[in-house]
Structure 1
Amino acid sequence: MTQSGSELRRTLGVGDAVVIGLGSMVGAGIFAALGPAARAAGSGLLLGLAIAAVVAYCNAMSSARLAALYPASGGTYVYGRERLGAFWGYLAGWSFVVGKTASCAAMALTVGAYVWPGQAHAVAVAAVVALTAVNYGGVQKSAWLTRAIVAVVLAVLASVVVVCLGSDASDTGRLDIGVSAGAGGVLQAAGLLFFAFAGYARIATLGEEVRDPARTIPRAIPLALGIALVVYAAVSVAVLSVLGSGGLGQAAAPLADAVRAAGAPGLVPVVRVGAAVAALGSLLALILGVSRTTLAMARDGHLPGGLAAVHPRFHVPHRAELAVGVVVAALAATVDVRGAIGFSSFGVLAYYAVANASAWTLGSAPAARVGPVVGLVGCVTLAFALPGVSVVVGTAVLAVGAAAYGVRRWVAAR
């Protein structure tokens, strides 16, 4: 429950919300996730992408329905609390904050790796500090910056698609869809690729800053997801047509390697800049989403109450943003989190499992429950198809969060 004078300002329209969602999705994931996914799925990469898209679509529809009913900061943390009970809302919020904080550090290090590989950690910290300052100045400034980032990234990705498909090295025979790595490999690839789709949650977590949320959010989420899917499919087909699944799986920088193989080495620096800008866009949107969920959990007493403060001038959760910025900067300075994609995917899939379970309670008509059921089953399946280390660490983190909740309730009861 928000206190008088502590509400955020509603300034975002449909276009702003779509751009923020795209900034989260059409980001570093497409530059980084294709290689690991191809190694897992082999010739089944496109099938894995399709599975990830179906699960993401079901999640998006569930999130849109819930966001229209509960237009407050916090996303699935709020939905789970209202529809399933306090524990499930808390678990969703815990999964989101922990998983996405690791993702923030990973995106910051991606910026450093592309901008100045020899000083990746220093650049990563600088990026976190700069974007935290942007967010501190108000969500509208963040939307403007995200719009510019999305324009640059889409232009770079369009260049990659045109160059690859138009080159003599392109061969449609490399697009053969099979299951050479088995069903497990395809599902693991889908789980890894889901990392790149998960950004539409940012639209829902900003529900308290959207104008006319009952209309805006249900329109913005499927629009952002649809655009991202078209972009991902085009890029995947273009890169596969040049490198094939084997070459793509071995590529350290898939899109840069693809344009080089397509006979356009001059485009490689442009792709590197695009990847850095994309990572900045993802980092900006991630910090926004994590800070808003932190705000919602602090309001309910699950995190220190001071984090619920809203700046009187800028109308942003400034203490939550600063706290998130400090933690992410510390991780980016000291830890190599390039393997955090799997862990982040596990946490986000757990988050959306709660969203689908919450949406299932909205109506009893069988047709209305198909999407939430498919989304829930898909989230659980993909979560446990991820690499073993990600599953073990993710499960342990959820268990720690659940134990902390139980201890807090026990102390309060005494």
Structure 2
Amino acid sequence: MDDITSAAAEPDRLRLLRVLGPSHVWALGVGIVLVGEYMGWNFSVGKGGMIAGLMACWVAGLLYTCVAMIDSEVTSTVAAAGGQYAQAKHIVGPLMAFNVGLFLVMAYTMLEAANAITVGFLLDTVAGMQGQAGLNQQPFIVLAIMFLAWLNYRGVLATLTFNLVITAVAFLAIVALFVSVQFGASAVPLDFSAITTDPLPYGWVGIVASLHFGLWYYLGIEGTCQAAEEVRSPARSLPYGTMAGIMTLLVAATMTWYICSGLMPWEYLGQAGTPLFDAARVTGSTGLMILLFVGTAFATLASANGCINDASRAWFSMSRDRYLPSWFGAVHPVYRTPYRAIVFLVPIALIFALGAPLDQVVTFSILSGLLGYTFMTFNMVMFRNKWPLGKIKRGYVHPFHPLPTIVLLILCSTAYFAVFLGYGTQLSAMMCFYIIASLWFHFRRYKFVRRGDQFTMPWPKPQGY
């Protein structure tokens, strides 16, 4: 089937449109991630208490700052759809590229499923406030995923412009809640007494364990790389959009911890489904409740929207290079989107959204992301060694190399241990899944790969070759 499909598709050579600017890159990165401020991060407080939750917020912020710095340099140079997959393909080799592509697809598809679960939970919570408990969440989960898949199918510019608007509203909702509480709009005063009375309820191991869900504050910022082939000026737009995105998220994450920890007991906060919306409910202000309901809904929709964009680009890129059946590598003749990849991933997201608990889906996404970040450390070292500064043109050069790489590797190793403390079985199962997938690629799929067609960068031979 691959040979027939590729023979039919090659004459067209339809390409993705370069229509995006820095604001769209910011909207893609922050849009995917901002939902982490609205749900999921608070499980870190349940793992270790308020102080542990704050430390997880800042340590995870350091980890993702390193990710953003490394990504900005490599992706502004390897400006191709697929992001980290395209980097691995050019710098490391086919087996690593296949695994990195799979990490990306699974991380974003699971994040999309988690967002859909949150939409259903939010609507159920609001219905319960109106005396209509027991709302059937499944139709809303399906509707959210199907609508966003349709939007992505129709075109990337409309998709990310939509993300830009709703992401800005969701971010401003966090700022408005923070400012309102600071100026006395809350019926319940901020209370941080737990910091002094019981700062570390589970000891220092609680700080390590909390890092697991602390990653959820920022998971997905690396998704800005997936739009590299659709950006008008990759050397300018990708670094600006990515670095502005991580700075936005650091501010939003700190404000979120401050508001929620001050308004709710950490025991409740550690298991809440929609912590920012719950914080708005505690204030007693109807206006803030409506605003944070809108903010939560917009954040989840923006994240799911960006996840569909990123997962489909990774799947499309792998198929275009024949790492997967090339049938998935088709570009729509009118909308210029990877429409088959978009449609194929919809039922996978629906299976997990309808059949798995939120914490399990979040953990699956986090672990897939962690594996991708671990790859970045080796990729960055190989990139600088093979093509030293001055040998090829870079859109951005991140400072202090190799310090960010070393810090990232150390923090990733710590995060694996944190996940193992609470989800060791799932960690082992996921590693087995990726090992089996690697064996399938090596023995069954690699023969279809045309290595000479993969390398699209006009670079000189690597140093030492």
Structure 1 length as normaliser, TM-score?
Answer: 0.92
* Unaligned runs of at least 5 residues, structure 1: none
User: RMSD of aligned C-alpha atoms?
Assistant: 2.5
Instruction: Supply the AA of the counterpart residue of 1:82.
Output: H
C-alpha change, 1:259 and 1:410, in structure 2 (3 Å) is closer
**What are the within-5 Å matches in structure 2 for residues 11-410 of structure 1?**
11-27=19-35, 29-42=36-49, 43-116=51-124, 118-165=135-182, 166=184, 167=186, 169-174=189-194, 179-264=200-285, 267-363=288-384, 367-386=400-419, 387=422, 388-408=424-444
Distance 2:221 2:242 in 1: 6
**Letter of the structure 2 residue corresponding to residue 392 of structure 1:** S
Q: Which amino acid aligns with 2:91?
A: R
Q: Determine if contact 1:175/1:241 at 8 Å carries over to the other structure.
A: no
Structure 1 residues 29-75: Cα deviation after superposition (integer angstroms, max 9, x where no partner): 21222331101121211111111001101111111111011100111
Contact 1:138 1:316 in 2 (8 A): yes
Question: Structure 2: how far apart are the matches of 1:61 and 1:155?
Answer: 25
Counterpart of 1:241, as a letter, is G
Q: Please tell me whether the aligned partners of residues 308 and 319 of structure 1 are also in contact (alpha carbons under 8 angstroms).
A: yes
Deviates more, 1:178-187 or 1:273-282: 178-187
> In 2, distance between residues paired with 1:411 and 1:305?
13
* Aligned residues of 1:9 and 1:315 also touching (Cα < 8 A): yes
In 1: Cα distance, 2:199 partner to 2:358 partner = 32
**Residue 171 of structure 1 aligns to a residue in which SS?**
coil
Counterparts in 2 of 1:262 and 1:376: CA distance versus 1, 3 Å? same
Cα gap change, 1:145 to 1:274, in 2 (>3 Å):
same
Deviation, 1:261, is 3.0
Q: Distance in 1 between matches of 2:17 and 2:279?
A: 44
Listed one character per residue, the Cα deviations across residues 11-32 of structure 1 (whole Å, up to 9, x for unaligned) are 00111111121111112x2122
Range with bigger deviation, 256-265 or 140-149:
256-265
Whether the 8 Å contact between 1:24 and 1:286 is mirrored in structure 2 is yes
Residue 143 and residue 41 in structure 1: after superposition, are their counterparts in 2 closer, same or farther (change >3 A)? same
Q: Which has the larger radius of gyration?
A: 2
Deviation at 1:244, TM superposition (A): 4.6
Q: Deviations over 1:292-344 (max 9, x none)?
A: 00011101222111110011221111111111123323443444455211111
CA distance in 2, matches of 1:47, 1:245: 15
TM-score between both structures, scaled by the size of structure 2: 0.82
Amino acid in the other structure paired with 1:162: V
Q: Distance in 1 between matches of 2:358 and 2:262?
A: 30
Deviation of 1:412 (Å): 6.5
Name the % identity.
25
Deviation at 1:9, TM superposition (A): 0.7
Structure with greater proportional helix content:
1
Are the aligned partners of 2:116 and 2:304 in contact in 1 as well (CA < 8 Å)?
yes
Q: For structure 2, which runs of at least 5 residues remain unmatched after alignment?
A: 1-5, 125-133, 389-398, 450-465
* Residues 412, 26 of structure 1: alpha-carbon distance in 2 compared, 3 angstrom cutoff: closer
SS at structure 2 position matched to 1:71: coil
SS at match of 1:311: coil
SS at match of 1:118: coil
Residues 54/410 of structure 1: CA separation in 2 closer, same or farther (3 Å cut): closer
Q: Do the aligned partners of 1:97 and 1:294 also contact (CA within 8 Å) in 2?
A: yes
Moved more, 96-105 or 290-299: 96-105
CA distance in 2, matches of 1:321, 1:16: 19
Relative distance call for 1:99 and 1:393 in structure 2 (3 A) is farther
Structure-2 change in CA distance of 1:273 and 1:247 (3 Å): same
Contact conserved, 1:65 with 1:359, CA < 8 A, in 2?
no
